[in-house]
Structure 1
């Protein structure tokens, strides 16, 4: 599966940043969890992070009108530096405030990175490039998911969290170096400002792209439910960092197995997406059995579902978005990120009241997440069908 040189450089950026984000996703969340082992602490961290992420994504898109994607990635590296300095040296009695201060630069990292990656990939990607990119990105992600947890679990055992925070500076420097090699995409030469013609009706002006809206809203709910509780389920199985690392390796291997099947079996993408969402729902149900074995099975099944979702769903949306001009793509991505994050944030606000995994409130959240997961293939199918009809003769509205 061939990819262009520009996409290869985006993958290099993806690899460098993946190491940092994977570490934060596991060990910073674990660092926060270990103090009181309360769901609300991890939820609060992720809530502040996503609010910061949403704001940073918009700011990053606006900065592309004056700077290039290289500037955004360098800002990501600087935010990473701030994150690990705060983790190393900031100590506050007010735990809520401490967690929020740590979460803000993490959110800035994610927001700026997502903004740079989306516009770069969409500008350079065409057709098969998206499938190639998301496939190779999955391989990179799984390789990092296998090596990173084990390596850093051992580092933390030997030199503690502070030693691992200092080691992360090496990867922040690596990301800074990589920023000089990625394509310098900018919106500075676009004929109109980003926030002109930014209204919903002007951005989502034909059926295929309008169907993305409910799809993104539904995806945000089940994605955040899976992301939050997969972490907490894993932490509930064991407090041993090496065991937690090995469990994450198991999840990565299950995703690699899913990728192998995806490449070998000639099945339509719509069916793969339905299989992924069914796997996600079964995984959610397994968690209700509240035994360590079933919590692990739950995470394996939701990881498999997440692979098929990420590969098929993202590829389909990027193919449609890439047919627009660069400035139009930036507007679509901005709205898309907001739609994804608004339901992520609502889920996290709701999860603040979860005290255990057996109460009716947790089950209600799970049912909502399952319903949203099952709606995604429907909305994606509507979008794909509308785009196919448009390609067969219906033209985009004027200006697109």
Structure 2
């Protein structure tokens, strides 16, 4: 590292010069990473407390995942779904078994998984439930974040995500998150699905009231409506269980998965459901050139095998309690409220002290990277390979930031 010739400012300027400003990143330029640590172009090291919005649950460059990617790169990377490749069946079978479902439909991004879930639910509604053509509706929640396609932002309540992208796709009813009575009242004879995040990540790791998810499961069963759980951020070990729904013993009709499924190496998403739901799709009705490609399947199969041991779920649960204890000790000392489930936390900072953005900038200066969400709220989502000492380090740095 050469102090008088730091590369970061110039790299930041170049990024701002040549890219659309759809993000407002912290002024940090990362060049390498391993485990829970990142290194910038000037040699500074940072503790990663964002983990790629939960896409890096297993840390940066997990050896088992990197080995799987390297091995597959030497053999085969893409065939399209016009042919079957030798990684496909194992991935689909092992993921289906992890989810307790009959079938898996691989895609690429989380938004693609959500779009796929919407299409499948509508088709199921017309072909199985008997909803009149063009009348299907889906109930969703305020504060949701399911992606950024034109259909998905049509039912967003975040004006930054939604404004000026209309005309909007009809067929969605928005109700308050956590309000079972409002959700029940919104379901009518043409409702085909309820689409929810079991924990709202983008909103600030908002955990619904106890009993809400079981109530949603019950009303969906009673009213012949699919319960679709968007576990793209909350799933795959993040919350101390394989799925966030597991904490209340709830099994949805459909899981939407992504982010960590690709191990932080390639984009991988999937829809998992039983044959009576996913079986409504026939050849030519939905697809993806890159969905389920050999490289993606090789990496994602190793991800599923890591989860099948239960090690990462246990780490998240145990270390999450240490994180909770540390953060709750800061309530009244700059934090107004803390919400923690496993290694996932939402922190509301006293807005009189600073904004979430200011807090993240100050944390970055102290070697910890996190991300603000709305106003004075920030999220913490360290890789599940983090250690007790690293959690304590991050909490100490946060305390120093709050103390000014």
What TM-score, normalized by structure 1, do the two folds share?
Answer: 0.27
- Whichever structure has more helix as a proportion of its residues is 1
What TM-score, normalized by structure 2, do the two folds share?
Answer: 0.27
Q: Which protein has the larger Cα radius of gyration, Structure 1 or Structure 2?
A: 2
